[in-house]
Amino acid sequence: MSRAKSVEVVVLGTGFGGLTFCQAFRHPEARITLVDRTNHHLFQPLLYQVATAGLSAPEIAAPARSVFAHRPDVTVLMADVEGIDLSRREVRLRDGVLSYDYLVMALGGVTSYFGHPEWEQFAPGLKTLDDAMRIRRDVLMAFEEAETTTDESRRSELLTLAVIGGGPTGVEMAGALAELARRVLAKDFRRMNPASTRVVLIEGSPRVLSHLPADLGDSAARQLRDLGVEVLTGRRVLEVRAGEVHLDDGTTIRAANILWAAGVAASPLTRQLGVPLDRAGRVVVEPDLSLPGHPRVFAIGDMALVLDAQARPVPGVCPAAMQMARHVARLVRDELEARHGVPVRRTPFRYWDKGSMATIGRSAAVAKMGALELSGLPAWFAWLFVHLLFLIGYRNKVAVLWQWAYSYLAYKRGARIILGREEG
C-alpha cells in the first residue's frame, strides 16, 4: 500500500505567532516548513534593553533550528519571501518555491513613518537586532565624542537624545536612556558629565501610553520626569532632518540621536495578496483568522486586523499573536482529523486580554491586568516576571535574570562594547 501524501503546512515568520503555531501544532500526516529571513526567534519586548546596553543580543534571541531540533516534522529555512500566489498555493522565495496545503502568515510588522519614509535615515526604528545594535553603537559613540570635543554646542547636541512616540516602546526607551546616562555612565567619563544628558520624549497625543487608563499614563509621565526625561505631549512632529526634530509648536530640538517609536505597519507582503487591508496594511481577516476567499490561508499577529468582543482592534502584542497561533493550530488539526470522518465546524477567534504593562526604569513601571492597576515597584516586579515567563529557552531566562539582578544592584550594564564602528 502506498503511503499517503503528507499535508504541507508553511509558516512564515519566527516571531511569537509563527513559533507558537509550530509548537502547538502536531499531526502525523503533516509536515511544517518554517520560513524567516533571520535564523532566530527574537523576544522583541526586550529589544530596547539591547539598544540601551542593558542586555546583549544572544540573551533575547534563540536560534530557530535549535528550538525545533527535536521535531523531525519541522523544517526551518532561512530565506526571503518575495511573493505569495494564493491561486496556485505557492510561496515564492528568492531561491525557490514552496507549495502548501495550509499557509500561516505571521511576518509581523515594520516601522511606519506615516508617509515620510525619508525620515528613516535620520530616526531609526527598533524592530530587529540590527536596529538595536545600530542604536546602541550610535548612542555610545555620542558619549565618546562628547568626551573628546571642545565645542560646547556640539557637546550639547551629542548629549541630547530625542525619542519620538509615547507608546510602550518609546516610554521604555526614554527611561532606559535616562538611566544609562545619569546612573550607569555617571562615573565613567572625566571631561564631561553624562548626567547632563537631555532625554526628550515626544508624543502627539495628550498623554503617553494612551492605550492605558489616564491615571496610569499620568503615573508613567511622572516616573519618567523623576528620571530626568522631558515629556512633551500634544506635540506633532512636522519634520525630521539630520540631527533635528521640528515640532508643530515651532520648537526645534537638536539631537545627535533621534529614535523613532511612533508607528507600526504590517509587512509589505500583504499588499500583494489582493485581499482587503486596513490603512496600516493589515489583512482584514475572517472571524476564524483566515483570508477572505482563502480558507486555508491564515494571517495572525501584527499582519492581521482582528476585532475583539467590543469590536475594537486586538492590540499588536505577543500574547495576542500567541493566542491567534494556538487558535489556528486547533483549526488545522481538527480539519485534518475531519478527513477521517470526524465532523468539524470552525469557531471564531476570541481574544483574552491579559493586560498591558510598560517599564520605565529601575523599580519604575505601570501595569494593568484586568481590573488590577499597578504602578512603581509592584508593576516593575510584575513586568519582570511576565517577561521572564515568555522568554524562549532556559539559558535565556537565566542570562537575562542575572543581567537584571546585576544591573539593579550595581547600577552597571555589561553590554557597553561598541561594535560595527564605521571607519572613515
Grid cell of 318 as nine digits: 505577543
Q: Which of 239, 241, 207, 246 is nearest to 224 (CA)?
A: 207
Residues 6+ apart with CB under 8 A from 365: 223, 357, 358, 359, 374, 375, 376, 379, 380, 382, 383
Count CB neighbours of 407 within 10 A: 21
Single out the catalytic residue among 172, 179, 203, 286. Answer: 172
Asked if 144 is an active-site residue, the reply is: no
What cell numbers appear for 207 in the block?
498623554
Q: Which are the catalytic amino acids?
A: 172
